[in-house]
Amino acid sequence: MTARGWFLFSLMGVVWGIPYLMIKVAVDVVSPSTVVFTRCALGALLLLPFALRQGGLTRTVRTHWRPMLAFACIEIIGPWFTLTDAERRLSSSTSGLLIAGVPIVGLALSRFLGTREQLGTRRLGGLLLGLAGVVVLTVPHLTGGDARSLAEVLVTVVGYATAPMIAARHLKDVPTLQLTAPCLALAALVYAPAAAATFPSAVPAPHVLAALAGLGVVCTAVAFVAFLELIKEAGPARATVITYVNPAIAVAAGALFLGEPLSPTIVSAFVLILAGSVLATAAAPGRTAEAPEQRSEEPRLPPAPAGLAEESVESP
């Protein structure tokens, strides 16, 4: 990957490593529908002005509404609710660890969906190495939960593995903001009635409001723009490898801020996960020399003002 790709990858590892904690804090007080609505509404409110300023938003939606609708349903509307609902019974660390199965599911789905990304021996070995690290982390943390919550996480995993392929194959010519903002707005509209019906009678505590704000601003608005940029920069298979880093971030946050033990087992898992991520995101041998020709065929998104990316040179 390029230096920009590694920056986006590192950023995504952090900003999508902390939502599990924030979701857990919020869903203990407010309903899953309210959590998803607030998250999507805040993200849409932040991104829509930038998308409108680019111009052509209405034309983009009319032209690409089918894949955009599929992306919104498979990436946001379905998975965000199932994950949030599952965390009413699962711990946040367990949820994060289970989501780390996304790259393996994505690898399997790519065989059926015809994705042409080359996954040579080194990248496949990296995926398996990262999975081994996730297993090392998972065994001591898998506590609680039931069949329903585990099934909900599985739905989330399949959605997270499939949506990047849709974005890479059918939406690569759509500016990042003009894809993200309408999808978030649609999801907010879908969950608005349920959120209104289940909103708590009293204003939630400050730490719950902070968690909801963090989910909307950092883990949705900022993260989604970065994630779509990463898909266009590194490809859907490499982009989903961030789910190997996310549980490591979750465990590290627990050790730093909650005083959770950082055992030799966890340290070993960190090494496996990070090493697997490096190998799984590596370019195939000999690809560097061909980069100019390949890159000329693929639209890229350049960074836009205030850190918000739009389409043209590189792109989660």
Q: Has residue 131 been placed in a domain?
A: yes
Amino acid in the structure at residue 150: L
Q: Has residue 102 been placed in a domain?
A: yes
For residue 306, what pLDDT is reported? 40
For residue 289, what pLDDT is reported? 37
- Name the pLDDT band for 278 (thresholds 50, 70, 90): confident
For residue 299, what pLDDT is reported? 42
pLDDT over threshold 70, residue 267? yes
Q: Which domain holds residue 26?
A: 3-284
Nearest to 278 by CA among 37, 4, 10: 10
> How many independent structural domains does the chain possess?
1
For residue 288, what pLDDT is reported? 42
Q: pLDDT tens across 65-117, in order?
A: 999 999 999 999 999 999 999 989 887 777 777 787 787 777 777 766 655 55
240 secondary structure, DSSP code: T
Q: Has residue 307 been placed in a domain?
A: no
Predicted model pTM: 0.76
Q: Has residue 293 been placed in a domain?
A: no
Q: Has residue 297 been placed in a domain?
A: no
Q: Has residue 298 been placed in a domain?
A: no
Q: Has residue 278 been placed in a domain?
A: yes
In the Cβ-directed half-sphere of 280, how many Cα atoms lie within 13 Å? 30
Phi and psi torsions of 53, nearest 5°:
-65, -25
CA gap 305, 220 in Å, rounded: 18
Q: Has residue 312 been placed in a domain?
A: no
For residue 221, what pLDDT is reported? 92
The more confident residue out of 275 and 287 is 275
Q: Across residues 179-194, what is the average pLDDT?
A: 96
